[in-house]
Amino acid sequence: MTATAIRRPSAQGLVIAACAAIALSLRGYQLARPGYLLGVTEYDDGVLFGNALRLVTGVIPYRDFAMVQPPGSMLLMVPGALLAKVTGTAWGLAVARLLTVSADTVNVVLIGVLVRHRGPLTACVACGLYAVYPDAVIAAHTFLLEPWLTMFCLAGAVLIVEGDRIAGESARRLAWGGAMFGFAAAVKVWALVPLAIAALLLAVSVRRVRPAAALAGGAALGLGLPLLPFALAAPGALARGVLIGQVVRNADGPRYLLGRLADMAALRLLPAGLPQVMLLLGVGALIVGLYAAAYPAAGRRLAPLEAYALLCAVTVSVMFLWPRLYYSHYGAFDGPFIALAVALPVGVLTARPAVRRVPGNRAAAAALPGAAAVLAATVLLAAGVLQFQAESRLRGTEVAAAADRLIPPGACVVTNDSAYTVAAGRFYSGVQGCPAMVDSFGTLFAMTSGRSSSAPPATLRPVVDLWQTALERAQYVWLTSDTAAQIPWTSQLYGYFRRHFRLIAFAWSHWSRRYVPRPGLYVRD
């Protein structure tokens, strides 16, 4: 018999595939909820996809309209934006949502690739935790930055880390890994944190210039190439939007740290209050106990992979405690590092050599890995059921049918929330001079260097003038929330709006805010 033997899949491979299937099922079910594929569920996705829609028509971000994120996410969505010219913007955004679900499922696989050499139990815990991690599921419900940011960071880690050690002998791998991290930073600057930790571990473990230069050079190219064209076109606006505005807007204000910690500990689906606090303390004690028990029992220190996972988990968690603003989907960036930081000591603690170091534990050495696998599978299954139940209550907002009836195609629609015009197929206008604004929040932050509506009147004057011009050119105005935080309404601006626009649909029933229009759809009178 001369046929080549078919290689059977490894246990690790089967575990990784099963966890990826669970992740895809949870994220796919979420996207199948009413209004979640073609409706409105988020503010940010309309902005992020709208940036790409503007770019493919030749409108340059930072120069022609405000943008407060690096250009990486916009460049990723250029194919979807081009497709939207054929299918319409609603289906273009739907494709972006499907791609985001796929990217977050890939993250499960990349986590598995990082730990597959540690055996099936470690792969099960690491991949399974991220597959059911609530913040990761939330981030994957539409086109948000975190799943893509995580994917490029994990791809960089897979290239930089070889087994348990930093791949210091391969300059090519380090350069490509740096490029992945660099492009991740072009999606969101948070990627510089795990990149810096990787560089630190590389310097400690290798202590040679060439590997460090390869990593730094790759990162510079990965970040610089997507950034350079826009930096040349509008360097000041890019710096104000991406750096200065973001730092200033998060500098002052209350920070609800307990809620953030519970969120990052995957406890957001459980009742708040004392039970959540007790569980949070229990999770912290469990992780500390794992490390205290695992490595002395194994008789060794943390390997570079373990140090990388733990340092990233701690550093990113602490980083999220600083900003004034925090949203649950932010935690998706911390999720992979938390999953790795938990899974790796579990694998060490349940390995037979570690158990056998304790006298009289020969029976435990044989039974512990199986018992740990059953416990891990049970916990992950329970978490998956909770997540499924939470998703079953989700509902998005359908707007396309009403917009088709009320707004003619090609009309100039000015809105404070681009997600509505994208989902309604009314993002593009055939009217010459229709405003190109995509992000009302971002415009305010960029033009006031992050001080927003609390800025002095002189600082807000250019923003008021921008909205005055936008209203003068608009045929329809679609206001979807309390716009006082987005539009600096003055008595003159509000007066112009009241004189020239009439409410026709989507009105909120109770509204008494002075000098702030009631949310709804308005037509020029």
Q: If the chain, 525 residues long, is cut into consecutive pieces of 10 residues, what is the mean pLDDT of each piece?
A: 60 94 96 96 96 97 94 97 96 98 98 95 95 96 97 97 85 95 97 96 85 94 96 92 78 76 84 78 87 83 93 95 89 96 90 56 61 81 89 93 94 97 96 95 88 84 96 96 90 96 84 85 95
Range 290-329 burial, b when 16+ CB lie within 10 A, else e: bbeebbebbeeebbbbbbbbbbbbebbbeebeebeebebb
Does some domain include residue 28? no
Q: Report the distance separating Cα 156 and Cα 182, nearest Å.
A: 9
Q: Which of 369, 391, 413 is the last residue of a domain?
A: 391
Tokens representing 82 are 């081009």
- What is the pLDDT, as a whole number, of residue 112? 97
Q: Which of 363, 391, 419 is the last residue of a domain?
A: 391
Does some domain include residue 442? yes
- What is the pLDDT, as a whole number, of residue 117? 93
- What is the pLDDT, as a whole number, of residue 441? 92
Same domain, 476 and 441: yes
Q: Report the distance separating Cα 73 and Cα 51, nearest Å.
A: 9
Does some domain include residue 20? no
Same domain, 319 and 368: yes
Same domain, 361 and 436: no
Same domain, 499 and 414: yes
Tokens representing 72 are 């990486």
Same domain, 89 and 212: yes
- What is the pLDDT, as a whole number, of residue 3? 46
Residue 313, φ and ψ in degrees, nearest 5: -60, -45
- What is the pLDDT, as a whole number, of residue 31? 96
Same domain, 340 and 450: no
Cβ atoms of residues 222 and 192 within 8 Å = no
Same domain, 364 and 463: no
- What is the pLDDT, as a whole number, of residue 245? 72
Does some domain include residue 19? no
Q: Which of 373, 391, 409 is the last residue of a domain?
A: 391
Residue-range definition of the domain harbouring residue 480: 400-524
Residue 7, φ and ψ in degrees, nearest 5: -75, 125
Does some domain include residue 87? yes
Does some domain include residue 24? no
Same domain, 493 and 374: no
Same domain, 485 and 369: no
- Burial tier of 102 (Cβ tally within 10 Å: 0-12, 13-18, 19+): middle
Same domain, 96 and 214: yes
Same domain, 223 and 281: yes
Neighbouring-strand partners of residue 414: 477
Does some domain include residue 18? no
Same domain, 375 and 426: no
Angle at CA of residue 123, ends 119 and 126, nearest 5° = 145
Does some domain include residue 43? no
Tally of structural domains, the chain: 2
